[in-house]
Structure 1
Amino acid sequence: MAPMKTALFVFLQWVLQYALCRDVTLPPGDLYRVGGFPLSLPCAVSGYEGPRTQDFEWFLYRDDAGGRQMGVVSTRDKSFPYAPYLARVRNGEVRVERDSGDKVRLLIQRLRPDDQGKYECYTPSTDSTYQGNYSATVTVKVMPDTLQISYSHFLTGQPMPEGAELTLTCSASIHSEQLTHLSIMFGKRGGREVSGSGVGRAVSTIREIISIDKLLGVVPGRLYKTRYDDGEITLEKRNGEDGQGVYVMKMKAVQPDDTGSYFCEASQWIRDPDRSWQKIAQRTLDIGNLTVQQLAESLSVKSSPKGGVTLQVGSPLILTCEVLGLPSEVNSGLLVQWMKRGSVSSGVIGTGGVEVEVARMSPGGVVSWGDDLSRATSGSMEKVAEGRYTLKLFSARPSDAGVYRCVVSVYAGRRNPAPSTPATLTQRSEGVIVSLKTEDVQVAAVAQLPRGPLLKRGSTVTLICNITVTTSGPALAQVQWLRWPIPAPVLKKGQSPASVTPPDSPVVEKPRLVAGLMYDGVANIFANGSEVSVDRLSAVSYRLRVHAATMDDQGLYACHVEAWGQNPHGDWYNTGVKAESNTVTIYLYARAADLLLIPLVVGVSSALFVGIVIIAAVTCCFMKRLARQRARK
């Protein structure tokens, strides 16, 4: 048993010693880097004893030094560097930076050709026993700098109108014996930063616009992804002279936020033996400054005739919309709308009602009309010149009165924008007040119930509407019948239900449209439980009949009258003058048959009950007497 414990103890000690074996690691080589650009060599130590912060010393074995060791830099000894590196270490060009206590990296800010060779990372021992490896080496090859970059057009800072197209061209090339890749990035510096006091100050904020990465994939910047997805920003590679790659970036429509200083950045990449990509060279070329002039500073929208216009009913109405200050070099789409607020029916022109669209012309030239589709055949909207649009109503109606405004939405740099594309800018013109001279028209209406027998369920209810239209010209009336439900009676203190009379005017409740007779004689019957008919008895008398009326036809009835006039062209129009009659209350009484039904049912039921009781009593007595006679026998 004892030999087994001894063997187990020795085995565990060996495993523990192996687990704590010191190990120093560097990236696998050879590593190829470009002269004049930084070198970063990470070095890590593990399996050590002692403090967690370890020291590191770097040595270089130059190819031309016959394998002699040269001290580069140390974390514990300031006098460690040899003469060729002493000045570079003191000015910080060569230094060691710690990632953690046991991980550091050697940084050489600008590689020189004589920095080529084998680098050794050595860690002085802090272990109780000397075991494992205390250093690691890697070979670094210094390649010549062949990265070239140039531009073909320099931005002078002259203002460019919002929506104009911006094209930037950058050429780049590399000539390397090793397999390296080239990436190109277009970026912008500029912007504003708001301090804690709320005062904005200019800062150098860098935005990546778009790039072609090391694997030749096009990658938009985070803030430009939406514009790239919409096709407004593109980047393509073309073949230039002497093997140079020509990279062309286009912004189809610049925005105010695009103001800034532009640059092109070319980077050279190589894939190390550990399969990781490393940037080994980079150059940035300033292309110049861009200033975007906002469209709002120059655009204006005017409508005419200025102020207002007064027309006779039936006269043509012509309104003009002019768009000024639109840059001619910018290919922009325009959405032009004519909006109207107020009408004769609102009482005060320009203050009543909701602003509605009369007509619009899309950027593609398609004209569409608002709610009044009849205007499609009695009006037109045209583009008569660049930036000049007209709205024509061939025969003005009283309902056309109001305040008209031209609303223009500009899609800067987008001739045919998608329906979901937001407008760059929307501006409204001053209002044009359109007034129409109409003839003096007066309308009155009186509703009445003709004398006759009491109205009963199933009877025909007849209502008469007598109207009066006073005007100097031709006129017609349009009559509609309205019905309100009978309001519940309100009992006053000491008043009996029989003495309650219904109110003379309907309660505040939306009426139900029963029927109507249009000015041209067309009858409209709306949803109703009974059969309804309307007709005109004379020029001033209209009749409503409800056939076979039911209890649902009870209510308060009134007639609504609108006057229609005739313009000089012979067309009829709604004058906007209207009147509503008094209300007539319709009650339906029960029929005689309905009144006799209940007594008849009660009488028959009572007779049947009495008859059954009598028969039952007689039968019972007879049976008892018969039973007694049989018992005597």
Structure 2
Amino acid sequence: MSRWWRIVLIAVVWEVQSVVCREVTLPPGPIYRVAGFPLSLPCTVSGYDGSRTQDFEWFLYRETAKEMSIAVVSTRDRGFPYAIFQGRVNSGEVRVERDSGDKARLVIQRLQPEDQGKYECYTPSTDVQFQGTYSASVDVKVITDTLLITHSRILSGQSVIEGTALQLTCAASVESAQHTHLSVTFGMRGSTGSGSLGHNLKEIISIDRDLHVTPGRGGSYEKRYNNGEISMEKRSGDEGKDLYILTISALALEDSGSYFCEAAQWILDPSGQWERIAQRTLELGNLSVQPLADTLSVSTVPVGEVALQPGSPLSLTCLVSGAGPWYRSALLVQWLRRGPAGGVEVEVARMSPNGVVSWGDDISSGGGGSMEKGEEGRFSLRRFSAHPADAGQYRCAVSVYAGQLNPAPSSPATITQRSEGVVVSLKTKAVSVLAAIELSRRPLLKRGSTVTLLCNVSVVTTGPTQVEVQWWHKKRELHGKEDKTPENAKGSILATLTFDGISRIFSNGSELSVDRISAGTYRLRIFSAHEEDQGDYHCQADVWTQDPHGGWYNTGASAESSIVHVYLYALVADLLLIPLVVGVSSALFVGVVIISMVTCCFMNRLARQRSNCARKPAGRPIKEK
């Protein structure tokens, strides 16, 4: 039995030895590489015995002497190279780089034309038996360097404003009998932060060997490419050169640095892998991007204070400078005003980036003013007839969308800057106004009746005047408690009689009317008043007068009357309804009780009579004679 096992074991060992033997592998050829650029040939050995760290020796067979081997470099013998390679090996230009113990590559840093030929990779034997292959060879063709790259513009280190557009162009070409492709990349060496240019290398954008445009991954280039802010295109140029154009629509602060253009030549090896065989970089100069905040200036003309008579025209100009080229960046310009007594700053007018003007008040939107764009950087606000309501502090706010001509409504502005304020005051004549409210009473105000309120107004001034009267109502109780919420502190407006005699009703249910019954008396009537109309009432009088051009304006003089309380009593029918219901109910109850008692007594008496009849003895019989 042991004899048979010994035979089987010998057969297995012989089979393994016949299958597993030394094999040396090189990439298939021929391999084309460009003179002056690197060559890298990987060599792998497998199926060997002995140490896992194998040695490699390289030989060259030139085409002019195919039978003569030239020792190039070895991993085990420093004196291995021939004299024509010894100096290059000593300098490291020709060397062997190990990827692992049984895989190494021959590297020639700068190929020379005489390096063309057949390269053999030989592995000295470490095997018990000499079997398999101990070397492999591949043809290497050295072709002439024809890669050219030029520029049409070079940066001179000038400082440009944030948001300015940048366009750089490179021309690249290659002439080769072999089928090769070109790729072109624009990149930048960014600032180190101390003002000097460091080695912070960034690829901005590239067109690869398959003509695909790919944004760089460093910085925000991918996002800006997707937003259309960075682009690259290829065009046909003169003399067989292709033009590669980089466009940055709006320079950002991160774009400061030293720019370069890189062209690479690619070839498809017999192994099916694309290899870069030549590369050339062209420096395009330095660029410094200055923050927009350092250059943007927003001011108003005139400055200080402007004093006007009512009815005079008002003209203010917003001056914008340092925002970069006007044809590259959109502006949003707003005019803001704060009242003479301070308070909240409100928007008077705005001009959107597409030139559309919108108003924040009724005066200008009704034709009382205009907003216009003049020459570059001048935006004017005009009031054709200024009135006291126009008084206050004005300033303009400018939002710059750097490099964006049509920003989306949700797009954030690059920067927003406001000017100093200019105070506009109007010299108005003295106006004195008083208002008093009066409740015209009947003997008793009842629900459903008409409530009449009178507002008596007296005005002391010179010149023609008109009065605008507002009527206000505040409910005294809200679910049994006084309503003290801020929005209801003054109540709600019921109606207005404007200075030109137009009545406006704001009632939420009741039928109202307002009119003027005499020179200084204004009337509010509430028809068919109900419980919701109860509460506190007061009137407010605003005085209007004419400017020299005949236009009416609010003088700002205003007076509020004292408060009167309106309470509605119930109607007589409502007052009689309860006792009537109570009386009828009581009468019915008494009647039912009496009828029940009489019926009960009658039934009891009838029952007693029937009972007595049943207990009486029977009479004697009568005899017959």
Scaled by the length of structure 2, the TM-score of the pair is 0.84
Aligned CA RMSD, in angstroms, stands at: 4.0
What's the counterpart of residue 447 of structure 1? Answer: 437
CA distance 1:415–1:614, shift in 2 (3 Å): closer
What's the counterpart of residue 322 of structure 1? Answer: 319
Number of equivalences? 610
In structure 1, the residue corresponding to 2:544 is in which secondary structure? Answer: strand
| Alignment partners' CA distance in 2, 1:546 and 1:490 | 24
More off after superposition, 289-298 vs 600-609:
289-298
CA distance 1:284–1:489, shift in 2 (3 Å): closer
What's the counterpart of residue 35 of structure 2? Answer: 35
What's the counterpart of residue 271 of structure 1? Answer: 268
Following superposition, the deviation at residue 555 of structure 1 comes to 1.7
| Alignment partners' CA distance in 1, 2:452 and 2:4 | 123
CA distance 1:530–1:125, shift in 2 (3 Å): farther
CA distance 1:88–1:384, shift in 2 (3 Å): closer
Match of residue 210, structure 2, among 206, 210, 215:
215
What's the counterpart of residue 205 of structure 1? Answer: 200
CA distance 1:539–1:144, shift in 2 (3 Å): same
Following superposition, the deviation at residue 84 of structure 1 comes to 3.8
Following superposition, the deviation at residue 164 of structure 1 comes to 5.2
Q: Is the CA contact (8 Å cut-off) linking 1:19 and 1:47 kept in structure 2?
A: no
| Alignment partners' CA distance in 1, 2:4 and 2:541 | 119
Following superposition, the deviation at residue 370 of structure 1 comes to 2.7
What's the counterpart of residue 495 of structure 1? Answer: none
Q: Is the CA contact (8 Å cut-off) linking 2:59 and 2:73 kept in structure 1?
A: no
Q: Is the CA contact (8 Å cut-off) linking 1:405 and 1:431 kept in structure 2?
A: yes
More off after superposition, 303-312 vs 333-342:
333-342
More off after superposition, 510-519 vs 267-276:
510-519
The amino acid that maps onto 1:511 is G
What's the counterpart of residue 552 of structure 1? Answer: 532
Following superposition, the deviation at residue 274 of structure 1 comes to 3.0
Q: Is the CA contact (8 Å cut-off) linking 1:338 and 1:404 kept in structure 2?
A: no
Report whether the alignment pairs 1:247 with 2:244. yes
Following superposition, the deviation at residue 490 of structure 1 comes to 11
Following superposition, the deviation at residue 293 of structure 1 comes to 5.5
CA distance 1:242–1:337, shift in 2 (3 Å): closer
Over residues 78-105 of structure 1, what are the superposed CA-to-partner deviations in whole Å (9 max), with x where a residue is unaligned?
4444444333333222233344455443
Over residues 43-97 of structure 1, what are the superposed CA-to-partner deviations in whole Å (9 max), with x where a residue is unaligned?
445666766x533414234143434555444444444444443333332222333
More off after superposition, 407-416 vs 267-276:
407-416
CA distance 1:72–1:473, shift in 2 (3 Å): same
What's the counterpart of residue 602 of structure 1? Answer: 582
Gaps of 5+ in 2: 615-625
Following superposition, the deviation at residue 584 of structure 1 comes to 1.9
| Alignment partners' CA distance in 2, 1:8 and 1:593 | 128
In structure 1, the residue corresponding to 2:150 is in which secondary structure? Answer: strand
Match of residue 370, structure 1, among 360, 374, 392:
360
Following superposition, the deviation at residue 285 of structure 1 comes to 1.6
Match of residue 340, structure 1, among 317, 336, 340:
336
CA distance 1:598–1:24, shift in 2 (3 Å): farther
| Alignment partners' CA distance in 1, 2:260 and 2:557 | 70
Report whether the alignment pairs 1:388 with 2:367. no
CA distance 1:609–1:268, shift in 2 (3 Å): same
More off after superposition, 375-384 vs 542-551:
375-384
What's the counterpart of residue 344 of structure 2? Answer: 353
Report whether the alignment pairs 1:429 with 2:410. no
Following superposition, the deviation at residue 106 of structure 1 comes to 3.0
In structure 2, the residue corresponding to 1:353 is in which secondary structure? Answer: strand
What's the counterpart of residue 286 of structure 1? Answer: 283
Following superposition, the deviation at residue 146 of structure 1 comes to 1.6
Following superposition, the deviation at residue 395 of structure 1 comes to 0.6
The amino acid that maps onto 2:236 is N
In structure 1, the residue corresponding to 2:587 is in which secondary structure? Answer: helix
Following superposition, the deviation at residue 616 of structure 1 comes to 3.9
Following superposition, the deviation at residue 286 of structure 1 comes to 1.7
In structure 2, the residue corresponding to 1:155 is in which secondary structure? Answer: coil
In structure 2, the residue corresponding to 1:588 is in which secondary structure? Answer: coil
CA distance 1:513–1:100, shift in 2 (3 Å): farther
Over residues 203-232 of structure 1, what are the superposed CA-to-partner deviations in whole Å (9 max), with x where a residue is unaligned?
132222332211122333344345445555
The amino acid that maps onto 2:148 is Q
CA distance 1:173–1:490, shift in 2 (3 Å): closer
More off after superposition, 570-579 vs 41-50:
41-50
| Alignment partners' CA distance in 1, 2:435 and 2:12 | 116
How do 1:87-102 residues align onto structure 2 when only pairs under 5 Å count?
87-102=87-102
Over residues 10-69 of structure 1, what are the superposed CA-to-partner deviations in whole Å (9 max), with x where a residue is unaligned?
998799879977665443333221121112233445666766x53341423414343455
| Alignment partners' CA distance in 2, 1:578 and 1:165 | 56
Q: Is the CA contact (8 Å cut-off) linking 2:336 and 2:396 kept in structure 1?
A: no
Scaled by the length of structure 1, the TM-score of the pair is 0.83
| Alignment partners' CA distance in 2, 1:503 and 1:93 | 94
What's the counterpart of residue 458 of structure 1? Answer: 448
Over residues 403-455 of structure 1, what are the superposed CA-to-partner deviations in whole Å (9 max), with x where a residue is unaligned?
12233445566666665665555443332211011121222222233343333
Structure (1 or 2) with the larger CA radius of gyration:
2
Q: Is the CA contact (8 Å cut-off) linking 2:197 and 2:257 kept in structure 1?
A: no
What's the counterpart of residue 395 of structure 2? Answer: 405
Following superposition, the deviation at residue 558 of structure 1 comes to 2.0
The amino acid that maps onto 2:337 is R
CA distance 1:402–1:503, shift in 2 (3 Å): closer
| Alignment partners' CA distance in 2, 1:536 and 1:386 | 53
| Alignment partners' CA distance in 2, 1:96 and 1:255 | 46
| Alignment partners' CA distance in 2, 1:221 and 1:266 | 15
| Alignment partners' CA distance in 1, 2:592 and 2:132 | 125
More off after superposition, 156-165 vs 520-529:
156-165
What's the counterpart of residue 522 of structure 1? Answer: 502
CA distance 1:228–1:519, shift in 2 (3 Å): same
What's the counterpart of residue 620 of structure 2? Answer: none
Q: Is the CA contact (8 Å cut-off) linking 2:431 and 2:557 kept in structure 1?
A: yes
In structure 1, the residue corresponding to 2:440 is in which secondary structure? Answer: coil
Report whether the alignment pairs 1:304 with 2:294. no
Q: Is the CA contact (8 Å cut-off) linking 2:388 and 2:554 kept in structure 1?
A: yes
The percentage of aligned residue pairs carrying the same residue is 57
The amino acid that maps onto 2:287 is L
Match of residue 471, structure 1, among 430, 452, 461:
461
What's the counterpart of residue 60 of structure 1? Answer: 59
Q: Is the CA contact (8 Å cut-off) linking 2:42 and 2:103 kept in structure 1?
A: yes
Q: Is the CA contact (8 Å cut-off) linking 2:545 and 2:552 kept in structure 1?
A: yes
| Alignment partners' CA distance in 2, 1:488 and 1:219 | 68
In structure 2, the residue corresponding to 1:29 is in which secondary structure? Answer: coil
What's the counterpart of residue 106 of structure 1? Answer: 106
What's the counterpart of residue 499 of structure 1? Answer: none
More off after superposition, 524-533 vs 362-371:
362-371
Q: Is the CA contact (8 Å cut-off) linking 1:26 and 1:44 kept in structure 2?
A: yes
| Alignment partners' CA distance in 2, 1:147 and 1:120 | 29
The amino acid that maps onto 2:203 is E
Over residues 569-598 of structure 1, what are the superposed CA-to-partner deviations in whole Å (9 max), with x where a residue is unaligned?
222212222222222222233333333333
| Alignment partners' CA distance in 1, 2:446 and 2:12 | 115
The amino acid that maps onto 1:393 is R
Q: Is the CA contact (8 Å cut-off) linking 2:58 and 2:74 kept in structure 1?
A: no
